[in-house]
Amino acid sequence: MLDLKFLRENPEIVKQNIRNKFQDNKLPLVDEVIALDAESRKTQQEADNLRAERKKISKEIGGLMAKGLKEEAEAAKQKVNESAARLAELEAKEAELGEKIKKIMMIIPNIIDPSVPIGKDDSENVEVQKYGDPVVPDFEIPYHTEIMEKFNGIDLDSARKVAGNGFYYLMGDIARLHSAVISYARDFMINRGFTYCIPPFMIRSDVVTGVMSFAEMEAMMYKIEGEDLFLIGTSEHSMIGKFIDTILQEDQLPQTLTSYSPCFRKEKGAHGIEERGVYRIHQFEKQEMIVVCKPEESPVWFEKLWQNTVDLFRSLDIPVRTLECCSGDLADLKVKSIDVEAWSPRQQKYFEVGSCSNLGDAQARRLKIRVNGADGKYFAHTLNNTVVAPPRMLIAFLENNLNADGSVNIPEALQPYMGGMKKIEVK
C-alpha cells in the first residue's frame, strides 16, 4: 500500500506506474483518493477546531461558576452540548472517509523499481542469466508421473477418490526423496544464517489482506467456514504476519527466517497438458525464506535471496536460469521480482520452480511493521523467496538425474538425507 502523502504530492507518478502495469482501469482511483483525502482533511480540521473550542469553553465554565455567573455558565454549557452533536457527526464522517480511502489505497499498485522491464504479461519477462549446461539426453524422457510410477512412487487414482483432482499420494523412494529435498533445503538455509521456523498453517483475515492483494486472495486462499481463518498458500504469509503491529529496534534488523510448511491453493484457471501430475496442485510442501530489513538494504537482500535458490538447485545438478518479471507480471504489492526456472530435458525448455520478490514497505505499511531508528520510526522492507517446493521441483530433479535404464542418480549433497543411497532403482 502506498503512502497517502506520496500519492497526494505525486499523483502523476502514481498514474504512470498504473499505466506501466497496464491497469488503466485503476487510473480514476488516484483522483478519487485525492478528492476523498481533501474532504477528510477538511473534516478533520473542523473537528479539531471544535475540540479546541470545547476545551477552551470548558475551562471558562469553571471560571464563570466561581464568579457566580450562573446564567453565563449555563449558556456556555449549552454551547458545549451543541458542539458535541456536531463533533459526533464529524467523527463518524472521518471514520467513513478513512475507510473509503483505505479500501481504494489497497487496490492501487505499489511503485515498481525503475529497473523493472515494461511489459504486459509473463510472455515479456526477460532472461537474466543461465546457470549450468542444459542437457538433452539421447534417450526418451517420460512424463514425470510415468517416471514416478516405475518406482511405485505415486498414486493419483487413490488421491482422486479421497480428495479429488489436484492431490496425490507419494510413496516409497519418491516420498523419501520429497522429504529429503525439504530437509536438505532446511539445512542449506540454516547454514546460510537463516533462523528455522515452523509457522502457523492458518492465518486471520487481517494478515491475509496485509500480505497480498484482494485479487491474489480470491484466486489462492481457502477460507475456513465459520471462522476468521484461512489456510496459507505459502508460509511467507504467516512468517511476515509474525511481525504484525510490532516496533522493531534498528539493531534487531535484518530478521532472516526460513520456514517449512504445507501450502494450500485453489489454483483457479485453465491448466495445460504440461500442468498435470504434480505440477499444479491444491496441496504441496515448501521451504521458504523471508527477510525484514532496513529500506536501504532490501536491494542487496533481493540479490542474495534469489542466489540462494540458484545455488541450491545447482548443488543438485539441475540447470536453472533467472528471469526478470516485467511490470505487467508483477503482483500489485511487488516492487521487483525474479523467477528461478529449472531446465526440463523432456520439454527442452525452462519452467518456474521459485519466485523472489522485494515488496518494499507495502506489506509493512499494511501490517504496521515499524522500526525504531535513530531519526524516528519508519516502515521496514520485506522480501520473500522460494527455497524449494518439492512436488514441482521433483519434476526437474527426476528429469535431470534420470538414466537410460530408468534409474535416478542421487547427487552427493542429497545422499545423507537418503540414507546414503546413490541411486533410486526401478522396482
392 is catalytic: yes
Min mean pLDDT across 42-56, 319-333, 394-408 is at 42-56
In this structure, whether the domain defined by 122-424 belongs to CATH 3.30.930.10 is answered with: yes
Q: What is the CA radius of gyration of the chain?
A: 28
334 CB-side CA count, 13 A: 23
Helix axes 11-20, 27-66, angle to 10 degrees: 150
Q: How confident is the model at residue 49 (pLDDT cuts 50, 70, 90)?
A: confident
Min mean pLDDT across 105-114, 190-199, 276-285, 299-308 is at 276-285
Q: pLDDT digit string (tens) for 337-379? A: 999 999 999 999 999 999 999 999 999 999 999 999 999 999 9
Which residue in 54, 276, 280, 314 is the catalytic one?
280
Min mean pLDDT across 168-172, 269-273, 393-397 is at 269-273
Classified as helix, coil or strand, 111 is: coil
Q: Is the dihedral of CA 46, 49, 53, 55 positive or negative?
A: positive
Q: Is 403 exposed, middle or buried (0-12, 13-18, 19+ CB in 10 A)?
A: middle
* Distance of alpha carbon 136 from alpha carbon 140, whole angstroms: 9
* Distance of alpha carbon 172 from alpha carbon 176, whole angstroms: 6
| E runs forming strands in 345-422 | 349-358, 369-373, 376-379, 381-388, 408-409
* DSSP 8-state assignment for residue 281: -
The helix (run of H) or strand (run of E) holding residue 177 is helix 172-190
355 is catalytic: yes
CA distances 220 to 200, 204, 216, 279, 367, Å, are 17, 15, 6, 16, 20
Q: In what order do the strands lie in the sheet with 246-249?
A: 246-249, 369-373, 376-379
Domain ranges of the chain: 4-105, 122-424
* DSSP 8-state assignment for residue 342: E
Contacts of 207 (CB under 8 A, 6+ apart): 237, 238, 240, 241, 244, 367
Q: Give CA 199 to chain center in angstroms.
A: 15
CA distances 48 to 35, 60, 77, 94, Å, are 20, 19, 19, 11
CATH architecture of 4-105: Orthogonal Bundle (1.10)
314 is catalytic: no
Q: How confident is the model at residue 77 (pLDDT cuts 50, 70, 90)?
A: low
* Distance of alpha carbon 327 from alpha carbon 295, whole angstroms: 21
* Distance of alpha carbon 236 from alpha carbon 258, whole angstroms: 9
In this structure, what C-alpha cell is assigned to residue 103?
479500501
Which residue in 186, 265, 321, 370 is the catalytic one?
265
Which residue in 124, 216, 274, 352 is the catalytic one?
352
What is the pLDDT at residue 313? 97
Q: Are 4-105 and 122-424 in the same CATH fold? A: no
* Distance of alpha carbon 402 from alpha carbon 73, whole angstroms: 93
Q: Give me the percent of the chain exceeding a pLDDT of 70.
A: 92
Q: Provide mean pLDDT across the span 394-408.
A: 96
Q: pLDDT digit string (tens) for 154-212? A: 999 999 999 998 899 999 999 999 999 999 999 999 999 999 999 999 999 999 999 98
Is the model's pLDDT at 142 over the cut of 60? Answer: yes
Which residue in 40, 213, 261, 355 is the catalytic one?
355
Q: Provide mean pLDDT across the span 332-336.
A: 96
Q: How confident is the model at residue 268 (pLDDT cuts 50, 70, 90)?
A: low
Contacts of 294 (CB under 8 A, 6+ apart): 250, 253, 254, 371, 380, 381
51 is catalytic: no
CB 216 within 8 A of CB 208: no
Q: Give me the percent of the chain exceeding a pLDDT of 90.
A: 81
239 CB-side CA count, 13 A: 27
Nearest to 311, CA basis, from 300, 299, 301, 322: 322
What is the pLDDT at residue 325? 98
265 is catalytic: yes
Average pLDDT, the chain: 92
Task: Give, rounded to a whole angstrom, the gap between the first and last alpha carbons of the chain.
Answer: 53
Is the model's pLDDT at 113 over the cut of 60? Answer: yes
182 CB-side CA count, 13 A: 19
Min mean pLDDT across 2-6, 13-17, 78-82, 201-205 is at 78-82
β-partners of residue 337 are: 357
* Distance of alpha carbon 289 from alpha carbon 382, whole angstroms: 11
What is the pLDDT at residue 68? 66
* Distance of alpha carbon 287 from alpha carbon 280, whole angstroms: 17
pTM greater than 0.75 (yes/no): yes
Q: How confident is the model at residue 270 (pLDDT cuts 50, 70, 90)?
A: very low
Q: pLDDT digit string (tens) for 206-244? A: 999 999 887 788 888 999 999 999 999 999 999 999 999
